Structure formats: C-alpha cells, structure tokens
Structure 1
Amino acid sequence: MIDEATIKANAYAMPFTSPAFPKGPYRFTNREFFIVTYRTDPEALAAVVPAPLEVSDDPIVKYEFIRMPDSNGFGDYTESGQVIPVTYKGEKGAYVHSMYLDDGPPILGGRELWGFPKKYAHPKMTVAKETLVGTLDFGPVRVCTATMGYKHADLAEDVVMPSLTAPNFLLKIVPHVDGTARVCELVRYHMTDITFKGAWTGPAAIELFHHALAPVAKLPVVEVLGGTHILSDLTLGLGEVVHDYLA
C-alpha cells in the first residue's frame, strides 16, 4: 500500500503510478509558427474573452499553426488555434482562446498544468512547393485552411521578439467531483530562453468552416491583415495565477 506521505511527495499528474506527462522544464527545439492575423467581428470577439481581460478597439485574431518536431517530454506534434490580443491591467498580451492538437501528453499536460483550452484534432503544417500550408481537420471535417507565400520577405528579430516574449493568458477550469468548478483561474505564462532562428512574411489567406465542436468560425474572417512564419527554440514557462474567480 502506498502511504500518504509518499503520495503527497510525488503526486503531480495522473495516473499516480504512471503520469501521462513528465515534469518540466519543457524545451522546444525548431518550434515553427505560421500565423495569419485577421480582423473579425467585434461583438463576436468580446463574447469569448473573459474579464478582467480587455480587448482593443481593433478586433484582431491571430490564427496559429505550430509545428513542434522536438519537444521535451511531449515528442513530435502539431497544434492549431486562435489567439487574441488583450490587455490585463494595462499589460499587453494574448489570450489563448482555442487549441487543437494531435498528441495526448501535451493535451493532458497543457490542460492540467496551465489550463490550455486543448482538444484532440488533426492539424498539419507543410510546405507545398512555394506555399506554406496549414490545415485543421476535426475528425473527418475540414475546419480551417490557411496559406502563405513561403519566405517572401525576411522579418528582423526585433520585430518578432516582442510577440514571443509578451505574456499569455489562459482561463483554467478544473471541475470538482460533483461537477462544479473547483478551480477557475486566470493564468499568465511566458515563453523564455528564446533562440531566434528566422522569421518571414508574405501574402496570406485563410478560410474557416463551421463545426459544432470546433467553433473557430465563430470568430469570422472580415479582413486578412498578414502572415508571419517564425522558427525558434524556446522554453514554455510554468504559469502564475493572476485572478481567482472563486475567491
């Protein structure tokens, strides 16, 4: 029988005797971002951002595809979702609204540790001749298709780094055994120890398709503002609670 002291000293994830993900730090090598920035409907945007975060007057969404071929503890996987520029008490950052990915440990670790809004799906990020292509399928249904001209123009490190070093915010919810919320917190985290390896821009396009369980199209594309392609190494830092909704 496992004694209580051993449980308290070693419990950090489930299952207790074979955790679904290891302890960090979580280092990502050759992490690749493909981001299409677009303007959306302001009322639709305001309906998904939790207070006390605030959205700007310009209703912007960043649709991201992220290739992670070498991730400590998480392996090789791809992620896709929507990130929204916000401010928290005057601090500029980004709210992670939705994430879809194809690997169990980062889904479980992301949700349990930080509160990432992750669901299992099938994102892909590839280079097709002269085009950078991102697709997201939820089951057999196409949810998003994005394209960008491959490395049309270089972006300088000082242009890209502010977005990589800015704080990110998450709404972490952990249910109690009776189905009510036991944890409901606004979490802030940063990416650290960043090695910039290159960044590019080019013409970009994106299409979103309605799905009942992957509702990315609820933030419709009104105007595409540009595309960004970034290659870097970085560490995903653990979070801190900045607001407790149950306090």
Structure 2
Amino acid sequence: MDHATYNQSFSLPIGPGSAYPPPPYHYRGVEDIFISYEPDPDGVAALLPPGVEPADEVPVCIAWGRWIPFSAFGPYNEAYIMIRATFGGQTFLYQPFIFTDNEIPLVAGREIWGFAKKLAVMERHSGGSGTPFGEQMLFTVERPRGQRLMTMAIACDRLQDPAELDDLPVLSTRLIPNAEPGPPSVSQLVRLDVVAPLHTSAAGTPKLWTGRASVSMDARSAVDPWHLLAPTRIIQGWFGVFDFDLGYGKVVHDYLAGDTYDSEGRAVSAAATR
C-alpha cells in the first residue's frame, strides 16, 4: 500500500476492509424511550470527570432505551444514561455508560466521540397478543445475558409538546491508552450536537408521548456499575420517533495539553479544570 492509498484510510482496518467511513451517519425512524429521574449524588460524583459538575442542585439523569431500525451502521439496539452536567459555563448531557448490540457503532462511537460503549443484550417489548405488559412498553438491558442491569417501562398516556423538551449537546470522555507505558495518547472531553426532528402522524401531530414511567437498576455489577446511578425519584418519561444524522464532534477540553476550547475551536483558559 502506498502513502496516497494509506492516507485515504479513515478507520481500522486500513484499506478496503475499514470498519466505517467518515461522518455523517444517517439514522431514520429511531424509537426512543427516555426517562428523567433523580439519582444518588454520590454516584454522580464518582462518574463525572475533572471539571465537569452536576447542572442541578439535585442531580438529574436520563435513562435511554433506543431501537434503531435503520442507520448507516445497520439496525441495532442501544441503551445509555445521561447526567445533566456543566462544563465551562455550558450545560450538557454527559454520558458515562452506553451499551449497543452491534460491533460497528461500538467501535465508531468509541473512536470518534469517546462513547464508552460495550456490547450487551437489549430487548424491547410492547403490549399486545402474547405479551403480558398491557399498556406498557418495556426495555431491558442485560450484561451478560441473565444479569439484568436496567429495566425501563412507560405507558404513553398523552401527547407531549416537543417545545417542552431540553435540547442539549452530548458530552463524552474520549480516552485512548498509550501503546507504551505512560499517560494516555488521547484524553479529551468531546461535544456532539445532534438535531433530531420528530416523525409526525397522519394527523400532523409529532410522534412524541409522555406518561407513567419507571426505571430500575437491577443488579449491583462491579464490572458495569450502572447501579451507581439508580433512581431515587422518577421525574418524567417519554416515547418518540426521530430522524437524525451524526457528524463530527468538537473537542472542548484536552486534559493532556490542559487546554479548553470555545465553540470556534480557540484555546481558552483551563484553570478551573486543573
């Protein structure tokens, strides 16, 4: 392989077998259950990186169960937790945990944006013939199979006005170990902005509902400690159908260089993060 061909490689393995192409990555008809709740503040403190603080006096998390029928990476399920957090005066949804059941979005998510993805077993059920859940949709997360880490359920009682939802960027920690002993090769906070239009019904109403919801962290796993963010109070749950595209992220802080960057990519003071 010559240098010109090598320079065209975007992801491993180099050459024609690359795992994924450059962004953007298209997602269509994505169905989300997401539930906001209050967790134990000590669990939140144990999972936020330096310089990132809870955005609320009583911390707020959002648990997510996602079914993706079509994406550039293929169909798959995903589950994650977000913490409402601040960094540099900006409010974000910080993502400490995320699972998928497809290897390609796993490697792309970890390598590009620093999403802390692992493989897990996720299943979504809804009421109807042969299922016992009646009016509820149920989303379960196991790792390994048989060890339940999270259970989510929602009854879609009424339509929700999309204007009442927060529209916050995602924040993640991109950490790549060094090939030699020493500090990591990459240690960054990465911001990702996503515009996610809702699908609309034949009546013209957005496909977004709210209703009675529950979420529980079922196992105390030392390997996957989602229980650190177990809910103490449920706030609200939603179900919606979305389209969106994932593009490049933006580095907002480099822990190795000690630099924080503004929205234009210019380095600013990072004294608060040291």
Which AA in structure 2 matches 1:190?
D
2:224 & 2:20 partners in 1: Cα distance?
A: 25
2:231 & 2:13 partners in 1: Cα distance?
A: 41
- What secondary structure does 2:185 align onto? strand
Q: What does residue 195 of structure 1 align with? A: 197
The answer to whether the Cα contact below 8 Å between 2:106 and 2:119 also exists between their aligned partners in 1 is yes
- The structure in which a higher percent of residues are strand is 1
Which AA in structure 1 matches 2:96?
H
Aligned positions of 1:113-192 closer than 5 A: 113-129=112-128, 130-140=135-145, 141-149=147-155, 151-160=156-165, 162-163=166-167, 166-179=168-181, 180-192=183-195
Offset at 1:78?
0.5
Which AA in structure 2 matches 1:235?
D
Offset at 1:97?
1.0
- What secondary structure does 1:196 align onto? coil
The answer to whether the Cα contact below 8 Å between 2:40 and 2:228 also exists between their aligned partners in 1 is no
2:41 & 2:35 partners in 1: Cα distance?
A: 18
1:19 & 1:233 partners in 2: Cα distance?
A: 25
2:160 & 2:52 partners in 1: Cα distance?
A: 29
Deviates more, 1:37-46 or 1:113-122: 37-46
Which AA in structure 2 matches 1:168?
V
Alignment partner of 1:37 is 2:47: no
The alignment's TM-score, normalised by the length of structure 1, stands at 0.92
Would you identify which runs of 4 or more consecutive aligned residues in structure 1 move more than 6 Å? none
Which AA in structure 2 matches 1:170?
S
Aligned positions of 1:77-96 closer than 5 A: 77-96=76-95
Aligned positions of 1:64-83 closer than 5 A: 64-72=64-72, 74-83=73-82
Q: Rg larger in 1 or in 2?
A: 2
- What secondary structure does 2:231 align onto? coil
Once the two structures are superposed, residues 165-185 of structure 1 have per-residue CA deviations (whole angstroms, 9 ceiling, x without a partner) of x21101001112115400000
Q: What does residue 15 of structure 1 align with? A: 13
Offset at 1:126?
2.8
Offset at 1:26?
0.6
**5+ residue gaps, structure 1:** none
Which residue, out of 236, 246, 266, partners 1:226?
Answer: 236
Equivalent pairs counted in the alignment come to: 239
1:110 & 1:49 partners in 2: Cα distance?
A: 19
1:228 & 1:214 partners in 2: Cα distance?
A: 25
Offset at 1:206?
1.6
Which residue, out of 226, 237, 247, partners 2:247?
Answer: 237
Q: What does residue 256 of structure 2 align with? A: 246
Once the two structures are superposed, residues 202-227 of structure 1 have per-residue CA deviations (whole angstroms, 9 ceiling, x without a partner) of 11112212112221111122111121
The alignment's TM-score, normalised by the length of structure 2, stands at 0.83
